[in-house]
Amino acid sequence: MTEHTRWRLDLAKKMAAAYVENPKTRVVMVAGSTGRGTADAFSDIEIDVYYTEPPTEEERIAAVRRCGAELVSLGEVEWEEQMDFSGFPAATITFLVSTMERFITRVVDQGDPDTDAQMRLYSVQHAIPVFDEDQAKAWQERADVYPDGLVTAMLDENLRFRFFRNVDMILARNDAVALYDGIVEVQKRLLRALLGLNRIYLPIPDPIKRLDEIIDEIQVKPDDLSNRLREILHVDGPRGIDELEHLIEEVFGLVAEHCSSFDIASRRGDLKRVRQPWDGPPSR
* 161 & 133 share domain: no
Cβ-based burial of 174 (10 A; exposed 0-12, middle 13-18, buried ≥19): exposed
Tell me if the pTM is above 0.85.
Answer: yes
End-to-end CA distance of the chain: 69
Q: How far apart are CA 37 and CA 127, in angstroms?
A: 9
Q: H or E element: which one contains 90?
A: strand 88-96
> Does some domain include residue 173?
yes
Query: So what's the pLDDT on residue 188?
Result: 95
Q: Which of 91, 110, 143 is the last residue of a domain?
A: 143
Contacts 24+ apart (CB under 8 A), 231-237: 232/183, 232/187, 233/180, 233/183, 233/184, 237/171, 237/174, 237/176, 237/179
Q: How confident is the model at residue 273 (pLDDT cuts 50, 70, 90)?
A: low
Domain boundary among 100, 118, 143: 143
- Domain region containing 27: 3-143
Rounded CA separation 107/97 (Å): 16
Which one of 122, 143, 164 terminates a domain?
Answer: 143
Number of domains within the chain: 2
Same domain for 127 and 220: no
Query: 64 and 191 share a domain?
Result: no
In a domain? residue 179: yes
Q: CATH number of the domain that 33 lies in?
A: 3.30.460.10
Please report, rounded to a whole number, the percentage of residues in the chain having pLDDT higher than 70.
99
Same domain, residue pair 121 and 155? no
Residue 277 belongs to a domain? no
DSSP 275: P
- Between the CA of residue 134 and those of 41, 103, 138, 140, 141, what are the distances in Å? 32, 18, 6, 10, 11
Each residue's pLDDT tens digit, 148-200: 999 999 999 999 998 888 888 999 999 999 999 999 999 999 999 999 999 99
Let me know whether 78 and 136 are in one domain.
yes
The predicted model gives 234-255 an average pLDDT of: 93
Residues 57 and 123 in one domain: yes
Task: Tell me the C-alpha distance between 12 and 146, whole Å.
Answer: 29
* 134 and 260 both lie in a single domain: no
Q: Are residues 9 and 102 in the same domain?
A: yes
Which tens digits make up the pLDDT trace of 51-82? 999 999 999 999 999 999 999 999 987 899 99
